[in-house]
Amino acid sequence: MKTLKQAALALLFVPFMSCGGGAQKSTDSANEQSQANKNQTIETIMSRRSIRQYKPQAVGRDTMQTIVECGINAPNGMNKQSWAIRVVDNPEYINGITEVFKKKNQDRIANDPNFKNMFRNAPTVVFISNDPSYELSQIDCGLLGENMILAAQSMGIGSCCLGSPVRFMLTEPEAAEYVKRLELPEGYNLLYCIAFGHPDESPEAKPRDTSKIKFID
């Protein structure tokens, strides 16, 4: 009889134990979301915007050093660090390559009254190159760039990832000297650049398509 009573009591507790587990999961999920809402890293990511108007002063070199060091601490395959980074805040360089660009794109410049330079008017530009001998180096360079962009955002520095200026520099013969001045390691390819500066605009976020996200059970 005692055994039957114990079995009956155990059966009574089963549903409560099951419900308790679900409630715990629900509570954990709510707590995680609450923490996410307060998380500074998430806030930095969600508030980042591509900036295309900047104040004229260059970003301080100490600040850029911090930003670039955050970049090289990005995850990368087998710690190959298959990148090379060049920081340019020299107006002579930026204005010089921009003059070459303007000669080849006069119509485009004429239609942009705010045009100052070919890097979205940014006073500081970081050029990123990759080692093509490592097949995943472009991915690593992308991770590097994202680290820099988010570090900059957290410090109040705006940024914009750019591909067309590099494409111009690589295909226009008159721009070749500016590529050479970057003194990239032998065999490395100039991949893209990132504009940095003090923001002179506050654009709204563009919509993101969450339907592209799917959890697989």
Residue 56 has phi, psi (to 5 degrees) of -70, -25
pLDDT, residue 30, reads 64
What are the domain boundaries of the chain? 2-38, 61-197
pTM of the model: 0.82
pLDDT digit string, tens, across residues 82-124:
999 999 999 999 999 999 999 999 988 989 999 999 999 999 9
Residue type, 173: P
| 3-state per-residue secondary structure call for the chain | CHHHHHHHHHHHHHHHHHHHHHHHHHHHHHHHHHHHHHCHHHHHHHHCCECCCECCCCCCHHHHHHHHHHHHCCCCHHHCCCEEEEEECCHHHHHHHHHHHHHHCHHHHHCCCCCCCCCCCCCEEEEEEECCCCCCHHHHHHHHHHHHHHHHHHCCCEEEEECHHHHHHHHCHHHHHHHHHCCCCCCCEEEEEEEEECECCCCCCCCCCHHHCCCCC
Work out the percent of the chain whose per-residue pLDDT is above 90: 79
Work out the percent of the chain whose per-residue pLDDT is above 70: 83
pLDDT class of 15 with cuts at 50, 70, 90: very low
pLDDT digit string, tens, across residues 186-216:
999 999 999 999 999 999 999 999 999 999 9
pLDDT at 11 over 50: no
Name the most confidently modeled range: 7-16, 25-34, 68-77: 68-77
Q: For the residues 62-83, what does the mean pLDDT come to?
A: 98
pLDDT, residue 22, reads 54
pLDDT class of 33 with cuts at 50, 70, 90: low
pLDDT, residue 38, reads 78
Which of 97, 93, 111, 92 is closest to 165 using CA atoms?
97
pLDDT, residue 108, reads 85
pLDDT at 77 over 80: yes
The length of the chain in residues reads: 217
pLDDT at 148 over 50: yes
Q: Count CA within 13 A, CB hemisphere, residue 117.
A: 24
Token couple for 63: 């600040």
Average pLDDT of the chain to the nearest whole number: 89
Which of 56, 63, 54 is closest to 203 using CA atoms?
54
Q: Count CA within 13 A, CB hemisphere, residue 43.
A: 9
Which of 18, 181, 156 is closest to 93 using CA atoms?
181
Q: For the residues 69-93, what does the mean pLDDT come to?
A: 98
- Give the least confident one: 25-29, 44-48, 59-63, 203-207: 25-29
Classify domain 61-197 by CATH number: 3.40.109.10
- Give the least confident one: 22-26, 39-43, 80-84, 120-124: 22-26
Q: Look-up: residue for tokens 């590097």?
A: 144
